[in-house]
Amino acid sequence: MEIPILLPLALALLGFLCPCVTTLTPRVSFPMDSPGRRLIRFNSHDVSNTTTLLLSEDGDILYVGARDSVLALNVSHKDSIILRNKLDWSPSHEDLEQCSMKGKKMADCPNFIRVLQFLNTSHIYACGTFAFSPRCTYINTDTLTMSLKPDEGRGRCPYDPYQRNTALVVDGELYTGTVADYRGNRPVISRHLSEGKRVDLKLDDTLGWLEDPTFISSTFIPDEEKIYFFFTEVGREYDFIDKFIVSRVSQICVSDVGGQRTLQRRWTTFAKAQLLCQADHELPYNVLQDIDTLLPAEGAPVDDILFYGIFTSQWSVNSGRSAVCSFRLTDIKSVFSGNYKVLNRDTLQWSARVQEKVANPGECGLHNASDNALRFVKENFLADDSVRAVGRNLTMVSAENTYSHLTVQRVQAANGKHYTVLFLLTESGYLHKAVLLLRGAHIIEEIQVFEQPQPVRSLKLSIPKGVIYIGTSESVVKVPTANCSFYWTCAQCVLARDPFCGWDPASRVCVMVSTTNANLGQDIERGNAEEACSSVSLNHKSRFGPNKLPAASCPPGELVSVSLNEVVRLQCPAASRLSQQLWERPNSRLSSDLYLNLEDGSLSFVATPATLGHYLCLSTENGYQQTMAIYHVKQKTSPLSQTPTSYTQPRTNAIPTTQSMAKPGSGLHISVGTETHQGESKTTPSNRNTQVTTRQLGKNLTSWTKQPRQRELELRDGEALLAAQAPCYLKELVIVSLLLVLSLSLLITIFLFVITQRCNHRTAPQAATIDSDRRTPVEQEARRANVFLSKRNEQGQQSGHGSELVCNAALSGSNGHLPNTPI
């Protein structure tokens, strides 16, 4: 059997051996324009395709390359993006007609700005597709006007607006990776705008230095005096697989001026190597989507520079998955300084035959080398080894989301330790914020930034301003990197594991981490809220005392009036998408025969005498437990509510409840206020004699606990009204009352002495016992619930959970809302 047949079979078998991918669920999800995660947008009816971004050095001006225009946006204000200047740069009517005559769609013929780079302190160099005839120009940054007439942009900008390219300016010279012809068949890595003795350079394409590449990104390392280009292409060294895609990193030296005879006006320092994003016993993620550079920490060597890239796979077994791999600069340098593959000129096939090195490909200064050395580097430019990911493993992998773009930042936590935070843009329009931990990646939150899929997007991170700018076809979005004020309790602040945020015990709010407030409650690695919030719990105890919160101070819960044999459903808000809900009853076990726990965390059961009483919904996350909802299910006191009648009980005041608004399938939904009426029920179509009552916990819990006496009076007034409408039996009642009085008088006379003696020997506790026996069943149930809640409070104080009592003061946040619920 031939090798081309064996290899696909081997790859397929290898795919079955791949271990299961760990599910990465964002802890919190924010739908578009959610009040819990406010974003700033800029859009205009005459501006579109705002996808090329360039941020000024001070971070106050964002230059945007759009369709037929260049914008200067003032982003210095926290809550707004203001249009400062606009430069219109569109093709003429004749240019558009010629583009259409070439067979191109008219929608693709405008001028899409694809290159936007600072040339110096006063000018920007910009290039656009310009009706499939690229043009470049100089733009004054102050006035946003063209300084010179546009010139030809071949080799500097792509013809097609959907082709990816990369460009950067170093010392006034433009380095680009793009295509240099109309059909897109001539890929080039070239230098332009050279002056003096320096000349413009490009690749020697006679030997196929590039094989149908897609350029992704480029970066300049000043200490190395090298520019690294990242792209994907067809791997010709794997000639036994048809169109096997590989990810590459290539390098050139900025000091290169070409050879004297051999490689004239061509790169003499070009070399490339494969980037291998692969875990053990798994197929590689071979298609690079985006890559970003993370500079080393202060004082660390330059070799510690990391490149974080998003990879997908061309193999069906990994279809729909995205992986993130990181590569260290020292590993890239090591591969380029090693052996190189040899190209057979006759068969154009690569081999790993070791031969004597005449020169070291990729080494700077080769423009002065001999013709023999230049011929060697011309034919040996592919490194033999591959650059493997750090730790030879994947940084993170997601089977649920396809990532397209990323940016990376190093953040110092409250304990002084540095953490890497990734901002990843999904194809479905969400921005994921993930922190890299020792145990793996943790997605702190996801934010919906646009609705429709976008073909071209870009991210620009401003670390000093603490914001990310996202350029889409619809608008420019400004996203703050931190959202600490969203977490209302210490536990939620710690459980988020956000290196940007920590709990301040003095002000009792979740704040941004800075060097001035190092004593913050934070645990990024473990998320241990009990330990991190211990100081806050102690402050709470010292304020109220360990046993100064009697059970009577806790509310009886939201009153739910139901009829017997009625189906009841109690809702419970989730603290996060990573939390699990648990229902409890005082001194009772929730049997599976009587109760049904639904997927959304709610509890459903049929109202019977055995199921009336108090219910608590508890949320557990990472070993930390907190109370999210308290209900008191009570039978309706109106006797007519049990029989068919035309009487309708008057509705009480509307209670605010929560209604979910989020992406379908997400566990946690950001809530907004709606209204429902207490006692409202729905009749199921299958059984008209059975009613279903669904209760949701209101965002402001005190709304149903401030006036219990008033509600009791309302019920009593209703009973009096019903009694007035009943038939009169006054005569019979008088006769029965007289007989009862005579009987009681006789009994009192006989036992008066005995009762008097017993009263003299009674103690206060005994009186209290008789008093409790005279309580109504509802009052006895409430007393048992209060004792149960009091015990939970004492246990919580002993275990460090003093700040998460089941009282209203603990359930509501600083603004009277549930923890983790936006305003």
Question: For residue range 301-343, what is the model confidence (pLDDT) as tens digits?
Answer: 999 999 999 999 988 888 888 999 999 999 999 999 999 998 8
Kindly state whether residues 618 and 694 are assigned to the same domain: yes
Number of H helices, E strands in the chain: 12, 44
Kindly state whether residues 492 and 589 are assigned to the same domain: no
Which of 509, 526, 544 is the last residue before a domain boundary?
544
Kindly state whether residues 494 and 600 are assigned to the same domain: no
Q: How many domains does the chain have?
A: 2
Q: Is the separation of the CB atoms in 568 and 604 below 8 Å?
A: yes
Q: Residue 82 — pLDDT band, cuts 50, 70, 90?
A: very high
Strand partners, 227: 220, 252
Question: For residue range 383-418, what is the model confidence (pLDDT) as tens digits?
Answer: 999 999 999 999 999 988 999 999 999 999 998 999
Q: Residue 695 — pLDDT band, cuts 50, 70, 90?
A: low
Kindly state whether residues 633 and 705 are assigned to the same domain: yes
* CATH number of the domain within which 538 lies: 3.30.1680.10
Kindly state whether residues 530 and 605 are assigned to the same domain: no
pLDDT at 813 over 70: no
- The answer as to whether 683 is a domain residue is yes
Q: Residue 293 — pLDDT band, cuts 50, 70, 90?
A: very high
- The answer as to whether 772 is a domain residue is no
- The answer as to whether 194 is a domain residue is no
Measured at the CA of 286, the angle between CA 283 and CA 287, to 5 degrees, comes to 140
Instruction: In whole angstroms, give the CA distance from residue 573 to residue 579.
Output: 10
Q: What share of the chain is helix, strand, coil (3-state, %, to 5)?
A: 20, 35, 45
Q: Are strands 624-635 and 558-562 parallel, antiparallel or unpaired?
A: parallel
Q: Are strands 682-683 and 655-661 parallel, antiparallel or unpaired?
A: unpaired
pLDDT at 376 over 60: yes
Kindly state whether residues 511 and 601 are assigned to the same domain: no
Q: Is the separation of the CB atoms in 482 and 462 below 8 Å?
A: no
pLDDT at 622 over 80: yes
Kindly state whether residues 534 and 631 are assigned to the same domain: no
pLDDT value for 793: 53
Residue 256, classed as helix, strand or coil, is coil
Kindly state whether residues 629 and 696 are assigned to the same domain: yes
Span of 262-266, 359-363, 637-641, 705-709 with lowest mean pLDDT = 705-709
pLDDT at 356 over 50: yes
* Half-sphere CA count of 484, side-chain side, radius 13 A: 20
702 Ramachandran zone, left/alpha/beta (phi>0; psi -120 to 50) = alpha
Question: For residue range 164-208, what is the model confidence (pLDDT) as tens digits?
Answer: 999 999 999 999 999 998 888 899 999 999 998 899 999 987 778
Residue 539 token pair: 């402050």
Measured at the CA of 511, the angle between CA 510 and CA 514, to 5 degrees, comes to 145
H or E segment at 759?
helix 730-760
Residue 511 token pair: 């704040």
Which of 493, 525, 544 is the last residue before a domain boundary?
544
pLDDT value for 795: 54
**Residue type (1 letter), 749:** T
pLDDT at 715 over 90: no
Kindly state whether residues 695 and 610 are assigned to the same domain: yes
Residue 416, classed as helix, strand or coil, is coil
* CATH number of the domain within which 709 lies: 2.60.40.10
The rounded Cα 43 to chain-centroid distance in angstroms is 23
pLDDT value for 185: 87
Kindly state whether residues 624 and 494 are assigned to the same domain: no
pLDDT value for 147: 86
Instruction: In whole angstroms, give the CA distance from residue 675 to residue 459.
Output: 40
- The answer as to whether 365 is a domain residue is no
- The answer as to whether 563 is a domain residue is yes
What's the residue count for the chain?
A: 823
Query: Which residues are CB-contacts of 519 (< 8 A; sequence separation ≥ 6)?
Result: 414, 505
Mean pLDDT in the chain? 79
Measured at the CA of 581, the angle between CA 580 and CA 583, to 5 degrees, comes to 150
- The answer as to whether 588 is a domain residue is yes
- The answer as to whether 155 is a domain residue is no
Question: For residue range 532-575, what is the model confidence (pLDDT) as tens digits?
Answer: 998 654 443 333 333 333 333 344 578 999 999 999 999 998 88
Kindly state whether residues 539 and 565 are assigned to the same domain: no
- The answer as to whether 633 is a domain residue is yes
pLDDT at 805 over 50: no
Q: Could you tell me the residue range of the domain that residue 492 belongs to? A: 484-544
Kindly state whether residues 703 and 569 are assigned to the same domain: yes
Global confidence as pTM:
0.77
